Structure 1
Amino acid sequence: MFSLSSLMALLQVVLIDITLAGDNAVVVGLAVRRLEASQRRIAVLTGVGAAAVIRLALAVVATKMLAIIGLRFAGGLLLLWVCWKMYRELRRPDVHDEDGAPAPGALRSAIIRIIVADLSMSLDNVLAVAGAAGEHIWVLVSGLAISVILMAVAATVIARLLDRYRWIAWVGLLVVLGVAIELIVGGGHEVLEHVT
């Protein structure tokens, strides 16, 4: 189980996770930044739990997903929708009720944004991890667990920073928009190649 090749695969998976978890963490941080501390924890835990399920499901069919033309394009469009929702939220002032709590529905909205964004952004991560893990299933599962944990920890830190420094939210939005455009362009290119 712990052969040299499997340990090398695990090292590759950890490096991939560290590299790719940042984009997802920015999305989660942006989605939960206006929630109070207790709701923020709930949103992060729920979103990360959903991310774990999504990534596990994607990992099971990862190799077959490579053959689906247009999947990256569709993921980019989904992520573009998330960017639009975040942009609208960043443009309006913080919405709170009379007690100073976030507006009703904010928690549900944040969780939905986290799940949609993770669904659209996880494909690259899962495929990279599945490719690096090779035939070592325990490496694949460990890699997916590490990526989800990294995303949760980084998202909490990013959300705190966004509370203090609003301009970081705009930078984060640009990062997520860049990922969406990359997925749309790359996925669109695949579709065009297949059509022609």
Structure 2
Amino acid sequence: MELLSSSAFWIALGSIILTNIVLSGDNAVVIALASRNLPPAQQKKAIFWGSAAAIIMRVVLTVAAVKLLSLPYLKIVGALLLVYIGVQLLTGDDDEDGHDAKDNIWAAIRTILIADLVMSLDNVVAVAAAAQKGPEGSQLMLLVLGLGLSIPLIVFGSTILLKVMERFPIIIVLGAALLGYLAGEMLVSDPVDAEWFQVHVPHAHLVFGVVGAVLVV
């Protein structure tokens, strides 16, 4: 109860929620892309469970954020995986089989989780930093509460994007291109190659982000 009366607790909680919302725009794109080929009833389930599971996974990731980000080659592998996911999501309309992975709710949720895992590697650092603003010993509770309260907002954003994609199919291409762009940025920020790119390639994040987007589309 002492925590609830602490202004530091509420400030930290608000920071986590706000940070997660700001950083979850790309995740909402993936959720909408992965569930767009499902029947309407399954779309809602995929969006909800995909978002909820992704948030739980993000709590776990945040606890180990610093160690994860220091692992060599992790971001390179993540970048390649993100390009693959972007291509698969973009070509989902070409699948005719009604039992294809992209038309299956569990396959959609799996895609959401894998993409969120890759894209959250950087995001969790900001969320972890926000949690440190809280009172001593409250960090885990803040993460669970803050990220949990973010679920409805991510679900809402994904639902809106899904409707926009139905009206404007070009958004699907732009969403897939975004994944490619994020993959390019991730590729040049791995501990193994970040310093080399910084020295030898001006604006490496932008250059390889554009290259990644072009590769996907």
TM-score range, shorter chain: 0.7 to 0.9
Query: Equivalent of 1:59, from 52, 57, 62?
Result: 62
Identical positions, percent: 36
> Post-superposition shift, 1:22?
0.6
Residue 10 and residue 177 in structure 1: after superposition, are their counterparts in 2 closer, same or farther (change >3 A)?
same
1:193/1:17 Cα in 2 relative to 1: closer, same or farther (>3 Å)?
A: closer
Question: Where do residues 84-123 of structure 1 align in structure 2 (5 Å cutoff)?
Answer: 84-89=87-92, 92=94, 95=96, 103-105=98-100, 106-107=103-104, 108-123=106-121
Q: Contact 2:30–2:112 at 8 Å: present in 1 too?
A: yes
1:41 aligns with 2:39: no
Quote how far apart the aligned CAs of 1:10 are: 2.1
Single out whichever of 130-139 and 115-124 deviates more from structure 2: 130-139
Residue 194 of structure 1: how far off its partner (Å): 8.3
What residue number does 1:173 align with? 176
TM-score, length-normalised on structure 2?
0.75
Deviations 1:71-116 (A, max 9, x none): 23322222111111122225x3x74x7xxxxx22312332221111
Structure 1-normalised TM-score? 0.82
Matching residue of 1:8: 11
Structure 2: 5+ residue runs without aligned partners?
Answer: 197-217
Cα distance in 2, alignment partners of residues 142 and 131 from structure 1: 15
2:26 and 2:178 in contact (8 A); partners too: yes
Aligned equivalents of 1:63 and 1:126: distance in 2?
9
Asked if residue 22 in structure 1 is aligned to residue 25 in structure 2, the reply is yes
Query: Against the structure 1 CA distance between its residues 141 and 53, is the aligned structure 2 distance closer, same or farther, given a 3 Å change threshold?
Result: closer
Runs (5+) with no aligned partner, structure 1: 98-102
Amino acid at match of 2:109: I
Aligned length: 185
2: CA distance, partners of 1:147 / 1:120: 19
Root mean square deviation, CA, Å: 2.3
Task: For residue 68 of structure 1, give the secondary structure of its aligned residue in structure 2.
Answer: coil
State the alpha-carbon separation in 1 of the partners of residues 152 and 123 from structure 2: 14
- Shift of the alpha carbon at 1:30? 0.8
Amino acid at match of 1:62: A
**Greater relative CO, 1 or 2 (CA 8 Å, sep 6+):** 1
